[in-house]
């Protein structure tokens, strides 16, 4: 009997097991994909909605707009916001909900029933949202479903409109834009340090135009470093008052940057044989003693306020001209202003007296620096036009006095006046005994470091100078010493005066090229070059020393 019950129990278990397993299918059915659809159409474009805005207001009409999501809150650089765009423009949506990107991905089409929403502006940036403290605020989360409707699945990621920093306009605000050949001026710094909520970083193009890139400390790239070099930057164009700003969506908005090795657009190495073109020079923006080649296209007229570019003859200003990559350029943003020093270079190049130079290709030797608040060339020391010009000698020792006294040291033996740097010409060392409206007694030396002539032959020295209010040239001597120690009173050393230079006439501020004088008597030795200035209570000339060059045949 016991065995019968055990047999029946076993059969029951087998049946139960068989019945259970027969209910399980080896392949699970996937849930259906629900594709959102709307059964209504937009009746207003984004541009039309924004154009109707005059002040904060409740939208009380059945306004429906539609657009593609071009930015959301996925990276954290936008908080409780997203941006949609149609073929006419874009608008920012302020929504009191986080993780919007889970529902509203890039490329998602969204229809918005605007009735009972508010439209306002946050310091000129028009937004759709709700009322908060009598200002535009976020639409409460509970209302979002009644106003925002997704249509279909997300499409391709939106493509940015590539523009330049000269093409910023209100109709492009809240749209996706891209800028090529731009760089971060704070390369190597963090996008957004954690000690402040938001950090502004400047983005600049090769013409020196800038826009602020605004980054949140809550973004997932806040602790990344700004890349160096030039590249393309994409983002949402915004405005804060009168200031243009750009909002990055994530680091995928940066393309083409070169890490620690900047890649600069344009061509050339900056030598006479291989000069920078204008594009390369504008992008490089800094550098001393480089050659730049371009076409003379106009001038910056300085007899009007504010100063203004002029591309058509007659030209009234002789102290500068504009060069560009093409002879017919008339857009100032594509030009480099060139400061022309008084003297032979200005006489040969300026368009005021040489309007036939317009359209000609020229090479300029100078320093890349800001001029008229944009990338320019100053400190010009050479040029090449129509097969001739001034090509300064490049020697084994050169001092340009571009921004300081450089390698030279001023030593005051007597008197209160000293050698100082001045911006005259292409930069110079300046000494004058005239101060406080009287002449003063002085003895001051401008002395080079020790220069080795070992193994060199055919050594020569040349320099530039301007002298005014001269009494006697003997008050301004050029000397060489082989035993000055560099620190003591120069009069304790032995100095040999050099002669044979072409000297300044002493009655103008025009720089004169001295010509080359031989230093053959000192070859094989270590020397120092000294410019000795003397003034008295009755004679206080001004002496300006420009580019000093020592050359050799070997």
Write down which residue in 376, 391, 406 finishes a domain.
391
Q: What is the CATH number of the domain that holds 70?
A: 2.40.50
- The per-residue pLDDT for 342 is 86
Strand-pair category, 118-122 with 125-132: antiparallel
147 and 204 in a single domain? The answer is: no
Residues 6+ apart with CB under 8 A from 349: 296, 321, 340, 357, 362, 383, 385
Say how far apart CA 474 and CA 534 lie, in whole Å.
8
In a domain, residue 3? The reply is no
293 and 326 in a single domain? The answer is: yes
The size of the chain, in residues, is: 554
Give the residues across from 467 on adjacent strands: 543
Give the residues across from 536 on adjacent strands: 539
Mean predicted confidence (pLDDT) in 435-445:
96
313 and 243 in a single domain? The answer is: no
350 and 384 in a single domain? The answer is: yes
373 and 506 in a single domain? The answer is: no
120 and 136 in a single domain? The answer is: yes
Q: Count Cβ neighbours within 10 Å for each residue of 437-453 and write b for 16 or more, e otherwise.
A: eebbbbbbbbbbeebeb
Give pLDDT tens digits for 35-44.
999 999 999 9
Strand-pair category, 57-58 with 90-96: unpaired
* 244 and 168 Cβ atoms separated by less than 8 Å: yes
Lowest mean pLDDT among 172-186, 212-226, 388-402, 517-531: 388-402
pLDDT surpasses 50 at 16: no
- The per-residue pLDDT for 403 is 86
369 and 438 in a single domain? The answer is: no
In a domain, residue 309? The reply is yes
Q: How confident is the model at residue 19 (pLDDT cuts 50, 70, 90)?
A: very low
Mean predicted confidence (pLDDT) in 12-22:
43
Which residue has better confidence, 188 or 275?
275
Q: How confident is the model at residue 433 (pLDDT cuts 50, 70, 90)?
A: very high
426 and 528 in a single domain? The answer is: yes
In a domain, residue 26? The reply is no
Q: How far separated are the first and last CA of the chain, in Å rounded?
A: 124
In a domain, residue 515? The reply is yes
- The per-residue pLDDT for 340 is 95
Which residue has better confidence, 543 or 331?
543
Give the residues across from 300 on adjacent strands: 309
Residues 6+ apart with CB under 8 A from 54: none
Say how far apart CA 299 and CA 322 lie, in whole Å.
5
In a domain, residue 319? The reply is yes
In a domain, residue 305? The reply is yes
124 and 99 in a single domain? The answer is: yes
167 and 251 in a single domain? The answer is: yes
Give the residues across from 13 on adjacent strands: none
Q: What is the CATH number of the domain that holds 429?
A: 2.60.120.200
Say how far apart CA 252 and CA 270 lie, in whole Å.
34
Mean predicted confidence (pLDDT) in 81-99:
97
Q: What is the CATH number of the domain that holds 242?
A: 2.40.50.140
Q: Does 57 sit behind a cis peptide bond, omega within 30 degrees of 0 on the bond before it?
A: no
- The per-residue pLDDT for 1 is 42
Write down which residue in 372, 391, 410 finishes a domain.
391
Burial class of residue 432, CB neighbours in 10 A (0-12, 13-18, 19+): buried
Lowest mean pLDDT among 60-69, 99-108, 378-387: 378-387
Q: How confident is the model at residue 186 (pLDDT cuts 50, 70, 90)?
A: confident
Token pair belonging to 483: 């035993």
Write down which residue in 86, 118, 151 finishes a domain.
151
Give pLDDT tens digits for 373-417.
888 999 898 999 999 998 887 789 999 898 899 999 999 999 999
pLDDT surpasses 70 at 242: yes
Largest Cα separation within the chain, whole Å, is 146
In a domain, residue 530? The reply is yes
Extended beta strands in 392-441, E state:
397-399, 409-414, 420-422, 428-432, 434-435, 438-439
- The per-residue pLDDT for 424 is 87
403 and 509 in a single domain? The answer is: yes
Mean predicted confidence (pLDDT) in 207-233:
91
Query: Rg (Cα) of the chain, in Å, rounded?
Result: 36
In a domain, residue 267? The reply is no
Mean predicted confidence (pLDDT) in 301-310:
94
No. of helices (H) and no. of strands (E), the chain:
5, 42
Mean predicted confidence (pLDDT) in 286-303:
92
* H helices present in 301-350, as ranges: 344-349
Q: What is the CATH number of the domain that holds 325?
A: 2.40.50.200
- The domain tally of the chain equals 4
411 and 507 in a single domain? The answer is: yes
- The per-residue pLDDT for 258 is 61
Mean predicted confidence (pLDDT) in 138-153:
97
CB atoms within 10 A of CB 339: 22
**Which structural domain, as residue segments, surrounds residue 248?**
161-255
Q: How far is CA 291 from CA 143, 342, 349, 511, in A?
A: 64, 19, 16, 21
Q: What average pLDDT is seen over the chain?
A: 90
Map tokens 């006419």 to a residue: 88
């Amino acid at each position: 009997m016991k065995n019968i019950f055990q047999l029946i129990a076993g059969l029951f278990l087998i049946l139960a097991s068989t019945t259970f397993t027969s209910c399980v299918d080896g392949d699970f059915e996937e849930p259906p994909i629900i594709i959102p659809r709307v059964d209504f159409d937009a009746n207003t474009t984004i541009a039309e909605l924004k154009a109707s805005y005059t002040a904060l207001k409740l939208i009380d009409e059945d306004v429906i707009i539609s657009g593609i999501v071009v930015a959301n809150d996925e990276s954290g650089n936008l908080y409780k916001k997203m941006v949609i765009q149609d073929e006419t423009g874009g608008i920012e949506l302020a929504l009191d909900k986080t993780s919007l990107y889970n529902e509203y991905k890039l490329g998602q089409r969204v229809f918005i029933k605007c009735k009972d929403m508010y439209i306002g502006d946050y310091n000129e940036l028009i937004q759709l949202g709700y009322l908060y403290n009598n200002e535009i605020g976020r639409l409460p989360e509970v209302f979002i479903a009644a106003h925002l409707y997704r249509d279909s699945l997300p499409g391709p990621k939106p493509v940015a409109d590539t523009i330049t920093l000269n093409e910023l306009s209100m109709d492009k605000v809240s749209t996706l834009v891209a800028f090529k050949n731009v760089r971060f001026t704070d390369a190597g710094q963090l996008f957004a340090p954690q000690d402040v909520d938001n950090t502004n970083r400047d983005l600049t193009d090769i013409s020196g135009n800038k826009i602020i890139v605004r980054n949140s400390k809550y973004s997932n790239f806040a602790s990344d470093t700004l890349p160096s070099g030039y590249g393309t930057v994409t983002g949402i164009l915004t405005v804060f008052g009168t200031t243009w700003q750009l909002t990055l969506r994530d680091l995928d908005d940066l393309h083409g940057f070169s890490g620690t090795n900047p890649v600069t657009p344009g061509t050339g190495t900056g030598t006479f044989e291989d000069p920078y073109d204008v594009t390369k020079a504008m992008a490089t923006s800094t550098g001393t003693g480089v050659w730049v080649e371009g076409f003379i296209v106009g001038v910056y007229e300085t007899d009007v306020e504010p100063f203004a570019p002029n591309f058509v003859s007659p030209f009234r200003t002789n102290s500068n001209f504009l060069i560009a990559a093409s002879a017919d350029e008339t857009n100032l943003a594509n030009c480099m202003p060139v400061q022309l020093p008084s003297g032979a270079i200005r006489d040969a190049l300026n368009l005021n007296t040489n309007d036939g130079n317009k359209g000609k290709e020229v090479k300029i030797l100078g320093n890349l620096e800001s001029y008229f608040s944009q990338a320019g060339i100053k400190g010009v020391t050479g040029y090449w036009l129509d097969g001739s010009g001034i090509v300064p000698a490049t020697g084994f020792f050169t001092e340009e006095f571009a921004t300081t006294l450089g390698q030279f040291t001023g030593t005051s033996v007597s008197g209160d006046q000293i050698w100082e740097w001045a911006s005259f010409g292409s930069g110079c060392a300046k000494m004058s005994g005239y101060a406080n409206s009287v002449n003063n007694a002085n003895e001051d030396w401008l002395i080079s470091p020790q220069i080795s002539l070992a193994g060199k032959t055919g050594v020569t020295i040349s320099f530039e100078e301007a002298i005014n209010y001269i009494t006697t040239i003997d008050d301004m001597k050029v000397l060489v010493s082989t035993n000055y120690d560099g620190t003591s009173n120069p009069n304790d050393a032995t100095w040999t005066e050099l002669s044979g230079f072409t000297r300044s006439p002493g009655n103008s501020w025009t720089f004169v090229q001295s010509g080359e004088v031989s230093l053959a008597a000192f070859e094989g030795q270590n020397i120092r070059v000294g410019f000795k200035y003397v003034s008295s209570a009755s004679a206080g000339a001004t002496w300006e020393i420009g580019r000093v060059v020592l050359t050799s045949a070997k």
